[in-house]
Amino acid sequence: MNISLVAAMSVDGKIAERVDQSSLDWTSVEDTQFFVEKTKEAGVVVMGRKTFATIGKGLKDRRVIVMTKDPSVGAMIEGVEYTSESPADLIKRLTLEGVENLVLGGGASVYGQFLDAGLVNEVFLTIEPFLFGNGVSLGEKFARVNLELVETRKLNARSILLHYRVQRSFMKPVAERTIDTQYHQLLKKILEEGVDVKPIQGEGSRMILGAQMHFDLANGFPMITERDLSGKFMVGALGEHFAFLHGARTQDELKAFGCAWWKKWVTKERCDIFGLPEGDLGPGSYGPAWAAFPTAEGEPFNQIEHVVKQIKERPNLRTHIISPWIPQYTIQHSGIPPRKVVVAPCHGYLHILVFPETKQLSVHHFQRSGDIPVGVVFNIIQYAAFTMMIAQATGYTPKELVYTISDAHIYESQFDHVKQLLEREPRTFPTMYMDSTVTDLLDFRPEHFTVADYTPHEAMVIPTPV
């Protein structure tokens, strides 16, 4: 059933100045017309006894259901019924009766209870040009609800109508989630059991070979809680990912997508080594590999676009694979020209698995080399978001992100930070809401993502060698 909350509101968020006030006292003719149109379209209107008292009569051609604790005292009026059922029981009964659309006509107690029970699908708000200063708020006591804007309409010279859709998440309610300790255990294992090595970066690190984490996305969005990654960190991670999906190869292109952290890696000195202009990650970097893979025929191949099409057409295939690795641009030894990439891709090897029977989609992501305290936590955000995005773009529900790291390491300069992280108890993963109106993988931007229920420990800056 589609349940629409329809209300008129002052600019300071009040639906009335007094409880006994009729909305007709202050709302515009156009708002009343909209209410009549919307309720006639739905056929059924639910309202509280106090709101009904401000109307005092039935509504022509509509079934009015008035909520009251004592239905026996309600006046007999044609088209008006009284109920003492809870919102959930009322909706259950009306669904069995075949009701498909319903308008919630207020007031505050009714709006609040339906919102709190997660029973509202759409919100229509007319904003009228008043500041009441005090009065009745939209709803009492309900937990935060995320909305996405569908439409704005100017009703007349003074009033606007806002149409929102309530965002839903496929993730379990927070209270039902278990605390995921996989990341915590991985840090601990590397620190306690890892092998000390001296990589090319010059700084020693401790590593294990072959680590794997399974993130059931219904259990929350895998954004670690040992340190705060929200705000500009999360936006930067998503921005980098979207830039690469679009084939970005330069620092400027990455910046345009909201990612500013590549500067240190593409200085003039570093780019000179590979014969690349300053700011250029090179033709062997993530963006060109994903979106313009070089082919023997000459025409570049867009893996992202083709894999999305393949999933839509032939979901059962086990070949939904995307690779960031262009061998001829990445391998280096004497006797061949310098490689064509400043940083050889570490992550972004993807195998997408579709389960048409359950309408679910999972992603197995492989990372050849992972800086576990710094880079990997952002990469997990990116590939969890990727799983959600590609699922939505192809019509599936996201299921699992399996995250495999080949060389999983912690640098020596990070040991103390990691010891501090290990003293912090992991907490429940947050909820990630994604705008349901975006259905093309390439149209996603950071503003389409909203994190809720995130209660991390405080932020910690951890060094990473360049």
Ligand X SMILES: NC(=O)c1ccc[n+]([C@@H]2O[C@H](COP(=O)([O-])OP(=O)(O)OC[C@H]3O[C@@H](n4cnc5c(N)ncnc54)[C@H](OP(=O)(O)O)[C@@H]3O)[C@@H](O)[C@H]2O)c1
259 catalytic residue (yes or no): no
Tell me if 62 contacts ligand X by CB under 6 A: no
- Pair 247, 288: CB distance under 8 Å: yes
- Least distance in angstroms from the C-beta of 34 to ligand X: 11
Tell me if 427 contacts ligand X by CB under 6 A: no
- Of 48 and 398, nearer to ligand X (C-beta) is 48
Tell me if 95 contacts ligand X by CB under 6 A: no
Size of site (CB under 6 A) for ligand X = 27
- Least distance in angstroms from the C-beta of 103 to ligand X: 11
List the one residue from 3, 39, 48, 322 that touches ligand X (CB under 6 A). Answer: 48
Tell me if 67 contacts ligand X by CB under 6 A: yes
Of 49-57, 192-200, 401-409, 443-451, the segment contacting ligand X by CB under 6 A is 49-57
Query: Among the options 217, 346, 408, 441, which is catalytic?
Result: 346
Residues in 122-161 at the binding interface with ligand X, rule: CB under 6 A: 136
- Least distance in angstroms from the C-beta of 105 to ligand X: 6
- Least distance in angstroms from the C-beta of 421 to ligand X: 46
Tell me if 84 contacts ligand X by CB under 6 A: yes
- Least distance in angstroms from the C-beta of 146 to ligand X: 22
- Least distance in angstroms from the C-beta of 7 to ligand X: 4
- Of 136 and 229, nearer to ligand X (C-beta) is 136
Tell me if 264 contacts ligand X by CB under 6 A: no
Rounded Cα gap, residues 190 and 34, in angstroms: 62
List the one residue from 62, 107, 284, 384 that touches ligand X (CB under 6 A). Answer: 107
- Of 86 and 178, nearer to ligand X (C-beta) is 86
Tell me if 320 contacts ligand X by CB under 6 A: no
- Least distance in angstroms from the C-beta of 157 to ligand X: 20
Tell me if 51 contacts ligand X by CB under 6 A: yes
Q: Would you say how long the chain is, in residues?
A: 466
- Of 67 and 243, nearer to ligand X (C-beta) is 67
Tell me if 224 contacts ligand X by CB under 6 A: no
Mapped to the 3 state alphabet, what secondary structure does the chain carry?
CEEEEEEEEECCCEEECCCCCCHHHCCCHHHHHHHHHHHHHHCEEEEEHHHHHHHCCCCCCCEEEEECCCHHHCCCCCCEEEECCCHHHHHHHHHHCCCCEEEECCCHHHHHHHHHCCCCCEEEEEEECCCCCCCEECCCCCCCCCEEEEEEEECCCCCEEEEEEECCCCCCCHHHCCCCCHHHHHHHHHHHHCEEECCCCCCCEEEEEEEEEEEEHHHCCCCCCCCCCCCHHHHHHHHHHHHHHCCCCEHHHHHHCCCCCCHHHCCHHHHHHCCCCCCECCCCCHHHHHHCECCCCCCCECHHHHHHHHHHHCCCCCCCEECCCCHHHHCCCCCCCCCCCCCCCCCCEEEEEEECCCCEEEEEEEEEEEECCCHHHHHHHHHHHHHHHHHHHHCCEEEEEEEEEEEEEEEHHHHHHHHHHHHCCCCCCCEEEECCCCCCHHHCCHHHEEEECCCCCCCCCCCCCC
List the one residue from 4, 39, 113, 169 that touches ligand X (CB under 6 A). Answer: 113
List the one residue from 106, 222, 287, 430 that touches ligand X (CB under 6 A). Answer: 106
Tell me if 205 contacts ligand X by CB under 6 A: no
Tell me if 23 contacts ligand X by CB under 6 A: yes
User: Which stretches of the chain bind ligand X, using CB under 6 A?
Assistant: 7-8, 15-16, 19, 21, 23, 47-51, 54, 67-70, 84, 86, 105-110, 113, 136
Catalytic site positions: 346
